[in-house]
Every structure is written in structure tokens, then in C-alpha cells.
Amino acid sequence: MNYSSKRKRHAELSDLLDKYSRQYYIFDDPSVSDAEYDSYYRELLEIEKEFPELKSSGSPSQKVGSPVLKGFQKVVHPTPMLSLENAYNEEDISDFIERVEKISGRTNEELVLEPKLDGLSVSIVYRKGTLITAATRGDGLVGEDVTSNIMSLNCIPQRIDDCSEEIEIRGEIIILKSHFQELNREREEKGEKLFANPRNAAAGSLRQLDSQITASRKLTFFAYAIVSKQGNFATQIDILNALKKYGFTVSSEIMLCRNQSTAFEFYKKIEKRRVELEYDIDGIVYKVNDLSLQKKLGASSKFPRHAIAYKFPADKAQTTVLDIILQVGRTGNITPVAILKPITVGGVVVSRATLHNKDEVEKRDVRIGDRVILQRAGDVIPQILHPILEKRPTNAMPFVFPSICPCCSSPILKIKDEVALKCINFNCEAQLVERLIHFVSKFAFNIDGLGEQNIRFLFKKEIIKKPIDIFYMESKNKELHLENLEGWGKQSVENLFRSINAARTITLDRFIYALGIPQTGRAVSKLMATFFHTYEVFLKCIKNKEGQRLCEISGVGSSIANDFDIFFSQENNLKLVIGLCGDENSPGIIKIMDMASPENDIFDGQSIVLTGSFEKFSREGVKELVEKFGGKVTSSVSAKTSLVVAGTNVGQKLEQAKKLGIKIISEDNFIKIVDKK
């Protein structure tokens, strides 16, 4: 074939492959086998190899195989990617509809019913019709940058027509059941570990550092939302129609309804057909159709109030309740826990299950010795549904709740408007230990060497009784002699002190989270820290008892603000903050980093390498600061590296940086740079 014929054949193949991809991914109606598709694709590659000039950005070959990534950069979501509140019965859905109609003032409010896909949530941003950024949900506020991987997938349009403004599309990355089975067969043949389920396979495939691996995994993207620029649409149905017009896959199993009976019929219909679908779903999403009402309903710190997920029944099993114990949480909540004869449910061995609260134990009449039906609620949390009464042994014992805390013997009280019983003794040892465990956890101070076991050991030895004790351990070690304790040694103690010293500098959001304020998880902590911006403003709010100011933050309501005020009305909590961080009268023993403002992106666009050990920060802490100020941490030095931050005991990276003439700064100089901001 001459050049003219090859060019004509290349155009034919490109159109054919685009058509087949669209039929397969968009309309869920494949018209050719995988083998036939692959043969056409290989033919296209051979032509481009012979005539490289035919390879354009629009060629099917250019939608696969982006460069290998060195690591994922973080992306801040313009609008938080919240989870969905779960419902497990018709009563929960009725309550949801009642709440919606109470706000709208209308009856028979339109709802859109959509399958709840069991995959990985992704946000994709287009600017002037061109895909520019894609990110996973992450913690809801910050996700992983997976732009290169998303762009390698044929199922996602690189451009969308008739869109001149910036637009954010959200949806779910999944893997079809047939592709999942095929993938596991291939891994089995290679002797590789099999994926546990399609959801894990999809998530693992998208989070590859090599986008060619992602491209090879035959992932599918189902779109379900347009977050920005909703002014062009009046309803959720308008959005779904627009997504299909833009070229995205939208589930065909969608229904618009106005009454509960129809909504429940649809749920039952899809539940029966669930095994027939080509993809995994774990429930039905009930979503308000009217976008103006969606906005009016707003959101909590975790969930939008315009939608709820009615989950399908989870995997079930039978087992025996060996005992019921009480656990005391860091906020004093008393939780009954069933100790079970170990049983496998949904591929996971379960030996404990929460009984939630006293009301639940009495309502379900769960007794020690009972044979019970167990399920993993939402396929995650072990949950006892009910005892099997016909199998109840004659010696089964009802659990009697004590009137005093099982740990400190203080009175247990029922707080007004709360379900849980509480130990009201702030100095209850169980609460103190749980607060310490939370304080040093990964997303708080992240102190290596102070895991749960060591915290409990050191608390029992009365070495650590409160958080501030942690930062005085090194100076007191001449008296403590930690290296002589069972299970400890000189090296482990040195490593611990190094980790503690690195934790003496912490960002404001992680510090707020570490305090363990009720209802203040990671997402809310970040919202608060961004609102306060500096430790000084945060401290002023505490001292002046101005917690209600938090209601100004989108996603933070009066309940969270009330808990904030109550927490800091306890003198011990205020003393802890000042003792750690100081005030106008004392310097404190740790340093709080201010939250960065958008204009303070001092490392904007820079590729930064870390080498050696850091004394004043953990490595994760340095990485967070680089990313917070607009930079990206990479693992190896190259000509593209902008800066190297060097600690002690550096390796070959420092020599490589010197040879390439790359700027090198010490940890102290790094701190000076970020301090200026």
C-alpha cells in the first residue's frame, strides 16, 4: 500500500476504533469482540510506526500510555467531594423524603433513582472543553492527581463539545465483571496476588504510577454529576442528559419518580437484577431532582442533604455471642461490643461487632450465648442483625448495663438528646488513653514508635499521662531510663525521640484534629484551620468562647460549633493547648504552622526532592508543607528538579544534585522560607 492508501486506512481505523470504544464504554453495547478490537488497534499502530506523521493528538493510540509518574500530586477540590449517608430500610428512606419535603414545602417531590456504583469516585475538570485535571476523592477536600491515568482511558472524552467555560464532572471508575475475571485470570497465570473484588481492582488500577498499566486494565467511568456551572441546568435529569451529550457513560438503570411506593419497587427490581448487571452496585441512590432545592438543603460536614444511598443487604452469616463488653471512647461514650466466635463474612474474619448503644441491645434482645445473624453493614462494619430465637440456649444471659463506668467507676449518664451513655469523668483512664492514641495517630502528630500498644504500656508505667508529657520524655530520660524497659532498647528510644522532635512542628489543621474535639474529624479540622488561618486567631476564638463563629463555615453547623465551645469550656483542654503552643505569657513547646493562603504558593510548580533524616519535621510533615505551598515532592533527582531539601545522613541524591547544579537547602533554611509566609 502506498502512502495515500495507508493514510486512508489510518483514518478508517481511527473512526472505527473510536466508534467501537464509544459503543462499548458509552452505550454499554459492544459491537465487536475484544480480539477483533485488538486486531484493528495493532494494525493502526503498525501504520503509525511506518508513517509517524499520521500520529496526531486525536489518534486512538495517543489516548494510551502517558509517561511514567514518579508520585501523585495532591489536588484541592474546589467543592468538597462528600460521602453519601446510608439507608438500610424503607423507614430510613421515608424519613429522608419527609425531611426533603419539609424543607421544600411540597409533597411528592421528584426524586432521581440511580444505581450506587461500587467503584472509585473521581473528579474531572474541563476548561474550554479540554480535560485539564482529574483527581480521586481522597479525604473529600484533597485528592490524588490522576490526570495522566485518566487521560490514558478510552472511556473518558479528552474534549467535550459546546462547553466554553470551566466545568467539573464527577463519577465512578469501575471495572466490569467480565474484565475483572479476565484480569484475575491473567494475574493467576503470572503467579501474582489476585484482586479481592472489582472495586479493589478498579482503585488499584487507577492508582498506578505507570499510566500504561492503568490503560491496560480496561476501566470504565460512569458520570453522575456536574458540580460547577450548574446554572445551565434546572434538574439532575438535565445534568444526566448533558453528560450523555458530552460523551460520558451514564447508567441506563435510572428512574424519575414522585412517590415512595414506586421508589421502593425500583429498589426491589434492581436488587433482583443485581447479579445480571455487568458491573457491581451496592445500592440505589435517591437524589432530589430539583437543583435549586438541592442547594437549599445544603450539606453537613460529611454528607449532602439532597441524596441518600439505600444499601442492598450485605453478606450474612451465623455465629455465637461469647461475651458482651463495654468500651469507653475518648469522648466518654460507652459502647457495648459483642465478642463473637470467629466467622468469615464477605471474605473477612470477624470476631467482634459493635452493638452501638443500650437501646440497640435492648431492642434486638441480644444475649450472651445467643446464636445471631451477622452481616457486614455496607460490606464493611460488622453488625448483628438479630438473635435466632429458636436456637437460643436456656442459659443465654441478658446483658445488664452497669450504672458506673467499667474503667473508673464514675457514674454513667444519659445525656439529653444523645443516644449513647457517657462516662462524665474527663480524667477516666480509658478516655485518657484513647485521647493519647488519637493524639499521636497518623493524621494527627504522626509519632512513629508511639503506636497503641506503646501508648498503653507507657500510660500504665505513668510515663505518659497526658499529651504534653510526650514532649518532655527526652529531657526526663535520665530519670526514666526508657532503654531499660521491657521491649525497648537504646536504638528504639533514640528513634522515638527523633520522631517526637520532628513532630514539634505541625500544621494547624493536624493540630486541631489531634485534640479530639467531638464531631471534628479531618475534613472539619481542615475547614476550621483554613477559617482561622493562624494559631493566634484560633486561640483567641477559644479564650473568648466564640465557637459559634464556626457556623460561618460552609459545612459546619451549630452542633459542631456547640461541641467546640463545650470542649474548650473544660479548663484542662484550654491548658493543654496553651501548654503545648503557648500564648502571650508563655512560649509553648511546639510550633504551629499557619495555613497557606493562595497568594503564598512559594513553591508553585516546583519539583522538590527530600533527602536524609529530618530533626524538626517528620518527612511527611516536610512533604505536606511543600504541597501546601504549591510544590510537588518527587523521589529522584533529575534535570527537572527545582530544589533539594537536605537533612542529616543524606544519600546519593545530594551528590547527584551537586553534579546537576541544583539548589540545595538545609532543613533550617526550609523552615525559614515557609516561616516567612
The residues annotated with a catalytic role in the active site are 116
The torsion angles phi and psi of 315, rounded to 5 degrees, stand at -60, 140
Instruction: Give the containing element (helix H, strand E) for 54.
Output: none
Alpha carbons within 13 A on the beta-carbon side of 235: 9
Q: Do 496 and 662 touch, CB atoms closer than 8 A?
A: no
Cross-strand bridge partners of residue 344: 349
Locate the DSSP E strands across 312-378.
316-328, 333-345, 348-354, 367-368, 371-377
Grid coordinates representing 26 are: 458509552
Q: Burial, 332: exposed, middle or buried (Cβ in 10 Å; 0-12, 13-18, 19+)?
A: buried
Query: Angle between the 452-460 and 429-439 helix axes, to the nearest 10 degrees?
Result: 140
Residue 124 contacts by C-beta under 8 Å, 6 or more apart in sequence? 131, 133, 134, 150, 156, 168, 169, 170, 171
- Residues 611, 652: Cα–Cα separation, whole Å: 9
Q: For residues 453 and 434, is the Cβ–Cβ distance under 8 A?
A: no
CA distance 244 to 174: 18
What is the distance in angstroms between the CA of the first residue and the CA of the last residue of the chain? 64
| Residue 70 CB partners (closer than 8 Å, separation 6+) | 209, 634, 635, 636
Question: Is-contact 176 220, C-beta < 8 A?
Answer: yes
Q: HSE on the CB side for 410, CA within 13 Å?
A: 18
265 Cβ contact list (under 8 Å, min separation 6):
none
The x, y and z cell numbers of residue 219, run together, are 476501566
Q: Which of 217, 213, 223 is nearest to 180 (CA)?
A: 217
User: What's the number of CA atoms in the CB half-sphere (13 Å) around residue 123?
Assistant: 28
User: Sheet holding 307-311: strands in order across?
Assistant: 86-87, 307-311, 281-288, 111-117, 255-257
The Cα 509–Cα 443 span in angstroms is 10
Q: Using the structure block, give the residue that is written with the C-alpha cell 484493528.
A: 40
Q: For residues 362 and 213, give the distance between their C-alpha atoms in angstroms, rounded to a whole number.
A: 52
3-state SS, 580-615, equals HHCECCECCCCEEECCCCHHHCCCCCCEEEEECECC
Residue ranges in 544-587 assigned as alpha helix (H): 558-569, 571-581
